[in-house]
Structure 1
Amino acid sequence: MEQGAVEREPRTRARMPARAGFATPHGPRDRPAPPPRTGAAEPPPVPRQPAPRPQRHSVRGQVLAALRQALLGGELAPGEVYSAPALAERYGVSATPVREAMQQLAGEGAVEVVPNRGFRVCERSSRDLAELAEVRAMLEVPAIIRLARAVPPARWEELRPLAAEGVAAAARGDRVRYAEADHAFHHAVISLTGNRRLTEVADDLLRRAQWPASGGPRLRTAELLADASEHTALLDALISQEYAVVERIARDHLSVARHPH
């Protein structure tokens, strides 16, 4: 192009008419002039609400909950490899939220990534569970003993529904629902320390302790009920401020690798 020449639009390109509410390359001068005001008050423009976006995180949360239940219920077997597309088809979602949920479960020690294949459900031994129980007792028992003298009885009474929910699930033999109730109860207790780091670590340890052991016997309903009843007994001792009983129950409950598998 020669210096000083002005680039012109090709004649074959038709100029698109301006559409209301959208800018054009030629600016507002191509729009018709607005009608003159008559003096009457015009209503203020209604603000345009943004269109709702798909809540991908909620889908991932639902998939994560479903995968947890499948793991706790034994539908996803230890040692087996599952691909994200196959699981996505099973739950009627895309593969992306399945992969994201599986990555989180891998961080919790439930599965491990198998390159180009999917995710393998981790195999747990009785020793693994015993070591997790020992670490949990080291952290939670001192915390509960300290809370026993600091938290008023009325606050402990508020945890009754959580303990009752665990007992009801155990009485039905519902291992998945009991695992969820067990986690909710222990989370509520440790949260009373106000220590977020301790609560996060305790949550993670309990999750890891709940994953099934490979080839281990499944707890019977009576054993689940005995485990759940210890939550009620612990609350009774905390409310009555029987500190020696609190310590004994907490140690017995946390020192044994007895979880639904």
Structure 2
Amino acid sequence: MARPPHLALPSFARWTSVREEVTAVLRGAIVSGEMRPGELYSASSLAEQFGISATPVREAMLDLVKQGLVEVVRNRGFKVTEISEADLDHITRIRQLLEPTAAAEAVPHVAADELAALRGLASAIVDAAAEGNLVSYINADREFHLRLLRAGGNHRLVGIVDDLRAQTRLYGLSALVASGRLVDSAQEHVEMCDLIAAGDARKLRKLMDTHLGHTRREWAGREAE
């Protein structure tokens, strides 16, 4: 079997929860477009890149199969699940209906320590954007948004949003890195933290709606409407 293209993946030699970390990184690679539909990926080849055994990688891939992100190709490996442009439009619209309102409702419930954690994640997002590390960018972005929504206390909504985020595809991120524009989008997370600190739920809701609009325009490789 032909070897898959080399991916910019980190080593997990010293990580403790390997299966979960591999799952998170592979999910980020799928969402960011590092791993594309049509390419075959084997657990052994990915494990070699990670610097670990194939077992946790295979387990991680099977977790992603259950989540609908990859499919098993019998006797060959795994491939990323295809998602249509219409599906991606629908996913984004649902997120825009849910997340801005939920984020605004969470504002009065964000404690000082949670805000500090969100600021740390916002900084990590900006750093990853500046470095062009798309997998780290996606994973820090995911944790930021889910952590904010968890403050609202609606865990069912958090689970729904997490599933929707995993189905999103952001194939335009590489071009934004090349142009230096991804840092501008990343900076919106810092602005969100400032609005939370100010208790301005109305402006946060508006910014979140604008932010999510990027998922089917600039971040997807489309021209802004």
Task: Map 1:1-261; keep pairs closer than 5 Å.
Answer: 58-65=17-24, 67-68=26-27, 71=30, 76-91=35-50, 93-151=52-110, 155-209=114-168, 211-213=169-171, 218-221=174-177, 222-257=180-215, 259=219
Question: What residue identity is the alignment partner of 1:247?
Answer: R
Gaps of 5+ in 2: 1-15
- Residue by residue over 1:50-78, the C-alpha shift from the partner in whole angstroms, topping out at 9 and shown as x without a partner, is xxxxxxx9443354355346546755432
Asked whether the 8 Å contact 1:219–1:260 carries over to 2, the reply is: no
| Alignment partners' CA distance in 2, 1:234 and 1:158 | 13
Shift of the 82–260 alpha-carbon distance from structure 1 to 2, 3 Å rule, reads: same
The CA deviation at 1:164 is 1.3
Secondary structure of the corresponding residue to residue 218 of structure 1:
helix
The CA deviation at 1:156 is 3.1
Asked whether the 8 Å contact 2:35–2:80 carries over to 1, the reply is: yes
Query: How many residue pairs align between the two structures?
Result: 202
Q: TM-score, length-normalised on structure 2?
A: 0.73
Gaps of 5+ in 1: 1-56
Q: TM-score, length-normalised on structure 1?
A: 0.64
Q: Which moved more, 1:177-186 or 1:126-135?
A: 126-135
Structure with the higher helix share, 1 or 2: 2
